[in-house]
Structures are given as structure tokens and as C-alpha cells.
Amino acid sequence: MAPSADASRRDFLKVATGAAVAAAAVATKASAQEKPLVGCGKTTGDAKRVGIATIGLGGQGNGDTKAMLKVPGVELVAVADCYDGRLKRAKEVYCDNLVTTRDYKEILARKDVDAVIIATPDHWHSRIAIEAMNAGKDVYVEKPMVHDVLEGLQVVDAQKKTGRILQVGSQRVSSVVYHKAKELLAAGAIGELNMVEAFWNRNSAIGAWQYTIPPDASPQTMDWERFLGPAPKRPFDPVRFFRWRNYDDYGTGVAGDLFVHLFTGIHFITGSMGPTRVFSTGGLRYWKDGRDAPDVLLGLFDYPKTAAHPEFTLTLRVNFAAGAGGEDAFRFVGPEGIMSLGRDGITITKRDPDKEPGYTIDTFPKAIQDAYLAEYHKKYPEQKGQLRTGHEERYQPPPDYNETEAHTANFVEAVRTRTPVIEDSVFGLRAAGPALLCNVSQREKRPVSWNPETMRQVESAT
Ligand SMILES: NC(=O)c1ccc[n+]([C@@H]2O[C@H](COP(=O)([O-])OP(=O)(O)OC[C@H]3O[C@@H](n4cnc5c(N)ncnc54)[C@H](O)[C@@H]3O)[C@@H](O)[C@H]2O)c1
């Protein structure tokens, strides 16, 4: 039997210190679903039907669709994709009578579709999201919400004008781990935040986005012109189609692909709207396969003091040719501890308060050392010279916990109840903005200023 939300919350606390903490109830709901995939005219239970369609059914489109189908009452109606092999696969995975098309506009015209998942390459996100909202659909759009910062306010305006639900698919805001981290930070678990740091080290072809090109890739099996869409015209090229992340015309580099998740997590945990200054550097060092995107990228970001958080600095880096690879870290740093977030939950490494200040007297004359020590031991009689002690606290979600299921469940709940989501178009632009400005800074070799309130790039960087 599926665990209840309360059971999930208790599991989450198993390795905690015993403090009474409440993880986000809404986020635990999704992991409780263990229903078979449902689509093509069938829905589960009595829940109000929500008809969905997926536009872009590659890796993430399938992940999002499967997660959303775990919510009772959700029915998959149709999918759109520009490679016929993925449409064929959709019928194999979901059901034979699924509506499949190369043209997403056919999906937007359907009355039986309430909401769309947009999991195309980045250069299509804002365009399809705006068209979908104007067609009366709610939207679950993958990160980064936009390909270029300048598209962001158009999405925000369209959401405001149409009143549709739009949720960006960076699932961390719905994760019990991130809700717990937010609560721990606010409770002073590491003292006053002064820095956040994260890195990914990878070293494999797949890790560096050299995805498999199917042997039947051809102008007959692929809709090359529709894939290009708003991007510059080019002759047919299956490498660009299947490895689009590597090219600026369609992807947004490691900043738009990976940093954006970190901005989402940081903004959620700290309550921040974003940094005011972005500096990024790096280059293409190893994967010289004709790609545009750097495989080594570092970013530095200034977060000014606000009512929500103190001033802090953020450092991010990615290396796609880093030794053995396979390492990553995401740490919130304060004077009293470090909070590390990983796939297995949260670890807080604490420094206990100093019991004595210590001394550096070796270079003083012997008589002065002796006199100093005599006074010191009078003042700190119990101490044995151990300046600092520390300990660790760990918080783990339940073993089967899936944050994408939590995030898609939040979306469906919002579609049904018309209540706003946290990761709406404004949140999405505040996460995408600094990530995309990394690419500007790296290309132009200069710091770039950003106004997180107005969500606009500020021309004169200081
Ligand atoms: N939230 C996450 O953790 C996460 C993880 C991976 C990817 N993503 C995001 O999901 C999106 C898709 O990434 P992916 O790895 O699944 O890519 P992918 O290449 O596997 O899939 C993209 C699909 O979109 C299709 N497509 C392209 N143009 C289209 C159009 N105009 N209409 C319909 N379909 C179109 C392609 O044919 C392809 O099948 C990206 O924006 C990526 O950043 C998010």
C-alpha cells in the first residue's frame, strides 16, 4: 500500500536529530502514488479529469509525462515531437491510440487538452508557452523558462494577461529536501549565511551531451524545419537535432542547463529574488566536437542583503572533463555550520561554539610564554587545548521519494484548484536570468549587472 503523507514525513525525519519539523505536505503527496500509467481515454478514480499533452517527448518529456500520469485523474491525450521515432515510441510506452503529431499547434487546438508539458529544446520554450496560454492551456514548461533573458517578460505578461497556471519544471521547489533545507536555514542551523557554493564534475561522453543519434535519422523521419523554428536556418544536421544542448542557437550551455536548477534551489531556500552582479569565465577545453558551449564554466554572483537574507556570495562551476568525474556538491555556508544538499538528503556539519580562544605564543620569549600560559590556564582551567568540536546532522527523504512526481502533482493541484504555484513565470525568470547572463559574461569577458526585482539586465556593470 502507498504510504500516507504523514508516514512519508515520519520517514523523512528518521535520521534527523529529533527536532519537530514539518516537511511540505503537498510535496509528499506525489511520492505516495503508485498507480499504473494511464492515458488514451482512461483515467483513474473519481478525481476530476485533467487532460494533458506533451510537446517534446525526449528524455525529460517522458520523465515529466510519467510523473504527471501518477496523479489520479490525469489523462494523456496527445504528444507532439519532431522525430517520428519518438512518436512511435510514445505509442509503445503509453498506448496505441494516443494522438501523435509533428505539429504542436494541433495539440493547442484540442478541446480535450487542459494542460501541456513543454519539454522541447530551450529555444522553443517561451514561444510555445505563450501560444499555449493564449490558447487557454495551463503550462508546465521545462527549465530554463526562456532561451534569452529578453523573452522573459513576454512570458510573464502572457501569464498575467491569460490568468493561466504556468509552472517551470525545475522540480526542487516541490522537494521535501528543499523545504526542509529552507526551514533549517531559517532556524539558524548554520548561523548567518555568507556563501553558497556548488560544482559538478563529469567526465563521460553522455555527461558531456554526446547523446545517441538514431540510425534512421533522416529528413524523412525528422521535421528539421519545425525543430529549427525561431533559430537561424541551416541545412539538415542530425547532430544539431539530437545534441542541441551543445549549440547556442537551441541550448543555453551548462549555465542554462545546470546552474539554473541551483538558482531555483537557492532562491527557494533563501527567499531571494536573485543576484545583482554576475561574472562568468571558462571555455571549451576538451569536447572539441564542433560545439559552441564551454565544457568548463565558472560563475560568481553577488547577492545583496534583503529583508529575506543577509548579503552572500555564490560560486558555481561545471567541468565536463574532470578526472574521474562523478562528483558534485551544493553547500550553504555559515559561521556555525555547512548545509550540504545531495541526492540522499541534507547533511549539516556543525561547528560547536569555541570553548577557548587558543594562542600563538611560540615566537615570544620563554618568560613571556610562561607568564601568558599561567594566566591563560587560570582563565580556562577546564580546557585541554581542543579549540573546536563539531558534529553532523543528517536528514533523508523516504527511499522512494521522487521530487519530479511531487512537482508535477503540485502543478495538477494548481490546475484543478486555480491556486498559484511557487515556481511561476516570475520565479522562473528570476532563476533563468542570472544563469543566462553567465553566457553573456563569459562570451563578452565582463561582469554583467542584473536587477532581480525588475528582471532586466542593467547595462553598465560595475
Ligand atoms: N527538470 C529537469 O531536471 C530536466 C532534466 C533534463 C532536461 N530538462 C529540460 O527539458 C528540455 C528537454 O530536454 P531533453 O533532455 O528531454 O531533450 P531531448 O532532446 O531528449 O528531447 C527534446 C525533444 O523535443 C523535440 N522537439 C524539438 N522541437 C520541437 C517542436 N518544435 N515541437 C515538438 N517537439 C520538438 C525533439 O524532437 C526531441 O524529441 C530541455 O529544456 C531541458 O533543459 C529538464
pLDDT tens track for 401-425? 999 999 999 999 999 999 999 999 9
Using the mean position of ligand 1's atoms as its centre, give its distance from the Cα of residue 66 in Å: 15
Cβ of 423 less than 6 Å from ligand 1: no
Mean pLDDT, range 48-68, rounded to an integer: 96
Cβ of 141 less than 6 Å from ligand 1: no
Least confident of 37-51, 268-282, 352-366: 37-51
Which of 99, 103, 120, 258 to mutate to test ligand 1, by most ligand atoms within 8 A of the CB atom? 120
**Closest Cα to atom 2 of ligand 1:** 170
With bands split at pLDDT 50, 70 and 90, how would you rate the model's confidence at 183? Answer: very high
Higher pLDDT, 243 or 353: 243
Cβ of 11 less than 6 Å from ligand 1: no
CA distance 100 to 79: 5
Using the mean position of ligand 1's atoms as its centre, give its distance from the Cα of residue 127 in Å: 14
Q: What pLDDT, on the 0 to 100 scale, is given for residue 352? A: 78
Using the mean position of ligand 1's atoms as its centre, give its distance from the Cα of residue 340 in Å: 29
Q: What pLDDT, on the 0 to 100 scale, is given for residue 280? A: 98
Pairing mode of beta strands 390-395, 345-351:
antiparallel
Statement: 185-354+388-398+424-458 belongs to CATH 3.30.360.10: yes
Nearest atom within ligand 1 for CA of residue 61: 16
CA dihedral 105, 111, 117, 123 (to 10 degrees): 20
* Angle value at C-alpha 404, between 403 and 405, nearest 5 degrees: 90
**Closest Cα to atom 7 of ligand 1:** 60
CA distance 34 to 2: 6
With bands split at pLDDT 50, 70 and 90, how would you rate the model's confidence at 1? Answer: very low
Cβ of 214 less than 6 Å from ligand 1: no
How many CA atoms lie less than 13 Å away from 327 in the CB half-sphere? 10
Residue with cell 568540536: 389
Q: What is the pLDDT of residues 309-329, one digit of tens each?
A: 999 999 999 999 999 989 999
Q: What pLDDT, on the 0 to 100 scale, is given for residue 397? A: 93
Using the mean position of ligand 1's atoms as its centre, give its distance from the Cα of residue 120 in Å: 4
Which pTM was predicted? 0.91
Query: Quick one: what percent of the chain has pLDDT higher than 90?
Result: 81
How many CA atoms lie less than 13 Å away from 205 in the CB half-sphere? 6
Using the mean position of ligand 1's atoms as its centre, give its distance from the Cα of residue 131 in Å: 18
Mean pLDDT, range 290-305, rounded to an integer: 98
Positive or negative, the CA dihedral 105, 412, 269, 153 is: positive
Using the mean position of ligand 1's atoms as its centre, give its distance from the Cα of residue 252 in Å: 12
Mean pLDDT, range 199-224, rounded to an integer: 97
Cβ of 405 less than 6 Å from ligand 1: no
- Going from N- to C-terminal start, the domains of the chain cover 5-173+410-417, 185-354+388-398+424-458
Fold that domain 5-173+410-417 belongs to in CATH: Rossmann fold (3.40.50)
Residue with cell 543519434: 213
Cβ of 120 less than 6 Å from ligand 1: yes
Using the mean position of ligand 1's atoms as its centre, give its distance from the Cα of residue 251 in Å: 10
367 pLDDT exceeds 70? yes
- b/e burial code for range 145-183 (CB count within 10 A of at least 16 → b): bbbbbebbbebbebbeebebbbbbbbbbbbbbbbbbbbb
Using the mean position of ligand 1's atoms as its centre, give its distance from the Cα of residue 402 in Å: 20
CA distance 48 to 102: 29
